Amino acid sequence: MKVLFVGDIVGNTGRSALKQVLPALRSKYNPHIIIVNGENAAAGRGITGAIAREFFEWGVHGITMGNHTWDNKDIFEWIDDEPRLVRPANFPPGAPGQGSALIKANGKSLGIINLQGRTFLPPIDCPFRAADELIADLKEKTPCILVDFHAEATSEKIAMGWYLDGRASIVVGTHTHVQTNDDTILPNGTAYLTDCGMVGSKEGVLGMERTAVEHRFLTQLPVRFVVDEGKWHFHALIADLDEQTGRANSITKIRLTEDEWLLM
């Protein structure tokens, strides 16, 4: 089974890049299941029902989220009715939505889990214990499981990779928006990448207009951040999984820019 995972999509710039690039990625890699992180898809903060539907129309099969899950009030109206979108499973009990899902497409089944780190982020429930519970449940349905760990600290992400080695097929980090160079297959068969990177403007700061960010650092005053409209870059990964065992056979980083992205 081939799984395409696309890093944090930031605002209109990121959505435009996804729409342009996705057909070519599907043609080149022929992924069976496509998952994207959409927590920054609406103006850099959260996602709307209209944007989620747009992603599904383009061929996306599942959407993961993160710490900006609740930034658009719109989400409370539809999250409980959309089984293809998952928010961090370790939000406290009572939060709407779900933290895991079984995605079925092209005759394949993939369990997806979304977790949020606690280092330098709000002190929510333990992501490691949440992973234990959800993986045990999904293993009864499929051996192939992807975990999107939306976390700030590299150490916390690496620890999660080792903790889930052999239990998850893919552990990929999101949130920091910079693709790391440590893609690997861990000893027990888990494909791991500390951060997948982002899809959005490469001319801003993590996808946001850089002048406002610079002003914030210089003055420490509140500043309204807006999505940068500059040329985009696109980060993702493609992993090949053994459907019988759930072990990863390979993991390949994808890095494209607006000026140089045509896939042969």
User: 3-state SS string over 129-161?
Assistant: HHHHHHHHHHCCCCCCEEEEEECCCHHHHHHHH
Specify whether the CB–CB gap between 92 and 124 falls below 8 A: yes
Contacts of 150 (CB under 8 A, 6+ apart): 37, 39, 64, 65, 66, 67, 88, 114, 115, 116, 117, 173, 174, 175
Q: Which of 68, 175, 177, 233 is catalytic?
A: 68
Specify whether the CB–CB gap between 156 and 178 falls below 8 A: no
Rg over alpha carbons for the chain, rounded to the nearest Å, is: 17
| Distance in angstroms (rounded) separating the CA atoms of residues 187 and 185 | 7
| Distance in angstroms (rounded) separating the CA atoms of residues 39 and 31 | 22
68 catalytic residue (yes or no): yes
Specify whether the CB–CB gap between 135 and 170 falls below 8 A: no
| Distance in angstroms (rounded) separating the CA atoms of residues 54 and 102 | 20
The DSSP secondary-structure symbol of 58 reads: T
Name the residues annotated as catalytic. 68
